[in-house]
Structure 1
């Protein structure tokens, strides 16, 4: 090779001729010498290099930055650093590759003011969560628009001292001023830190996901709803839901809410007392935001459903992660007219024929259903599909759920169901391995 590359990405003094002149050659690439090809690539316009670098994996992008000065300059273009995911894992406990420490230092030194869409993905180790907090605390020149904290295993952020986590998160809340999306599930965020968030980002916050944040009270989340009038998506645990919160979200000053996700979780059977939300509060939400999606995940034991489904609620997506009784499913058909999607993990050994028929009758918008460890007679299932018709875009039923009867066998049912759906359908099969 007659051409070399020095340490800072520039061409060495042994370069033959002027690189600018090399770029003007119009010979086909197959006729050029290897060093001429390198010169041609090195002289690509910055806009094209930026487009190419955006599609490169991070490690390949870093390697490419060492080719020449032009590519090194492209590597540091602000547009490439607006969106970044820090992956923080311990080699002994995770198979995922972590973001290299040297790259993290370079980002903080040269690109912290360019970061806008940032997420931290950590494994189950406390060390990874501490590293994430260390990076957060250094983002004093940032102006983030979105921030997500993701624990890939158990919530490692919860194992940190609360004051340490809050201090790091507050740095972002104070300095960003324009946060629109915040995902902080399973973290020790608390009411005072939410007040800091509101004081600095109330005009811009649109999405807030904070399920399983035990240090936040109903008053803390109400503060957010009272001040952040642009909030469109909210996810939280049921114990934070209150009549006051729904009324705040339904005020004239508030924009129309688009998504509200509620996780109803019980860790210890019989030890959690669930309050009741007034029907008038739900009605206010529907009047203010008639098209909003209410997504509810239930992880309760069968004897804990007493306060729920006693009157009409505007739930659109309903998921039962544990066994649920026939009685509760019967009440779902009577109280959830806006239901679009229903997933039942388990029910037991009592057929759900009447309950499914009632849901088909009353839930006129139902378009997706999934049944796990349940039982339904083939005749009732066919009748259910016939009543719902082609609006059932998703129908996931295990073969073990369907009980043959005098009208249909398992070999016959898929033809009848396919006819009413207008497409070929088969029940799901349990894997044999």
Structure 2
């Protein structure tokens, strides 16, 4: 940096620095704390640590070993524990060392009596075995039982590949009666272990729950009856993951949900192994679908055309993996004309220039898209990839 730039940084208000540092993960906050006393004071502000993201990965700074990395992460958490309200842990599960670090962090938080309002776990890397992750879940259960039951309101497990058992999900309800968001529609391997009754019990224990993410097969008539009770607060969003396992939900219950909760919307994700014929059976007009994700790489033109015909008023986000074709281009143009409320469209295959033009012309609220007319993708509007 030029000397003049350094001079300006020396007089940067601590409030501005704290706001900038609040966007950094804990590892980078540790780095900026060693720049100078002015930065060290700014990074210690409570506003910096209200949202905290911890990365449990094998990377380390030059001159540090793995023990040093774990040590400073744990020390920073302990020092700023009282300020953390929204906690996100990012875990590379391919190495046992990272899983041990994650367990230690969760245990330290449990012993310290933190006051979390939101918990989010994101896992990546190759999962060694389908039964892996029980150590992480055990540490999470200890944390859950130690938290302030009044404060905890949001939990997100969508990107955790470990199998969630009935006991853990039951604890989520009993330990967080003010829960508003619970997303457990993760892509775990192995057999589905959750009973439909557990989800109903969570709804009964958490009357303020308004955003729920589960597997499609976890739906039940009792679940809808609980959501339809006149004393329940407005329910906003049901996020579903469909892996091919069905459950019998009458169309009348979906219609009743729309009448009881006018702003009620549905998110629907299809596993890559689901055949297209089963997708058509699930995509019904009675579902007020706002977000759709197709993960298969087969020809999806017919499904896109079906979506355009029935979800023109509700669809706001579409993620599509498909084989390219002229038929698909025509279906996407039809979708752009029908679903004018779209905010996001991500199509991971080559499309014609006319598809890009159609979405920009008809979808005035579109703010993020992935539409490529060449061999690379771009999701930074308003640039059109040629």
Per the TM alignment, residue 179 of structure 1 is displaced from its structure 2 partner at its CA by 1.0
1:321 corresponding residue in structure 2: 295
SS at match of 2:282: coil
The 1:242/1:130 distance shift into structure 2, 3 A limit, reads farther
2:152 corresponding residue in structure 1: 179
The answer to whether 1:235 aligns with 2:213 is yes
Per the TM alignment, residue 350 of structure 1 is displaced from its structure 2 partner at its CA by 6.0
Pick one of 205, 212, 226 that aligns with 2:204.
Answer: 226
SS at match of 2:327: coil
1:292 corresponding residue in structure 2: 264
Normalising by structure 2, report the TM-score: 0.72
SS at match of 2:87: strand
Pick one of 204, 209, 222 that aligns with 1:244.
Answer: 222
Length, aligned pairs only? 346
After TM superposition, the structure 1 stretch with the greater mean CA deviation from structure 2, 350-359 or 124-133, is 350-359
Normalising by structure 1, report the TM-score: 0.65
Per the TM alignment, residue 315 of structure 1 is displaced from its structure 2 partner at its CA by 0.5
Greater relative CO (CA pairs within 8 A, separation 6+): 2
Q: Distance in 2 between matches of 1:333 and 1:307?
A: 16
1:170 corresponding residue in structure 2: 141
1:346 corresponding residue in structure 2: 322
The 1:310/1:62 distance shift into structure 2, 3 A limit, reads closer
The answer to whether 1:138 aligns with 2:95 is no
After TM superposition, the structure 1 stretch with the greater mean CA deviation from structure 2, 326-335 or 81-90, is 326-335
SS at match of 2:144: helix
| 1:349-360 paired onto structure 2 within 5 Å | 349=325, 351-352=327-328, 355=331, 359=335
Q: Distance in 1 between matches of 2:166 and 2:123?
A: 21
Per the TM alignment, residue 119 of structure 1 is displaced from its structure 2 partner at its CA by 1.7
Per the TM alignment, residue 314 of structure 1 is displaced from its structure 2 partner at its CA by 0.8
Per the TM alignment, residue 85 of structure 1 is displaced from its structure 2 partner at its CA by 2.1
2:70 corresponding residue in structure 1: 101
Q: Distance in 2 between matches of 1:109 and 1:360?
A: 51
1:201 corresponding residue in structure 2: 176
SS at match of 1:287: helix
**8 A Cα contact 1:119 1:148, kept in partner:** yes
| 1:239-388 paired onto structure 2 within 5 Å | 239-265=217-243, 272-299=244-271, 300-305=274-279, 307-322=281-296, 323-337=298-312, 338-347=314-323, 349=325, 351-352=327-328, 355=331, 359=335, 363=339, 365-366=341-342, 369=345, 371-373=347-349, 385=358
SS at match of 1:231: coil
Per the TM alignment, residue 166 of structure 1 is displaced from its structure 2 partner at its CA by 3.5
Per the TM alignment, residue 153 of structure 1 is displaced from its structure 2 partner at its CA by 2.6
1:417 corresponding residue in structure 2: none
SS at match of 2:241: strand
1:189 corresponding residue in structure 2: 164
| Alignment gaps of 5+ in structure 1 | 1-29, 31-36, 266-271, 402-423
**8 A Cα contact 1:275 1:307, kept in partner:** no
SS at match of 1:127: helix
**8 A Cα contact 1:298 1:321, kept in partner:** yes
Q: Distance in 1 between matches of 2:163 and 2:204?
A: 22
| Alignment gaps of 5+ in structure 2 | 22-27, 376-380
1:118 corresponding residue in structure 2: 87
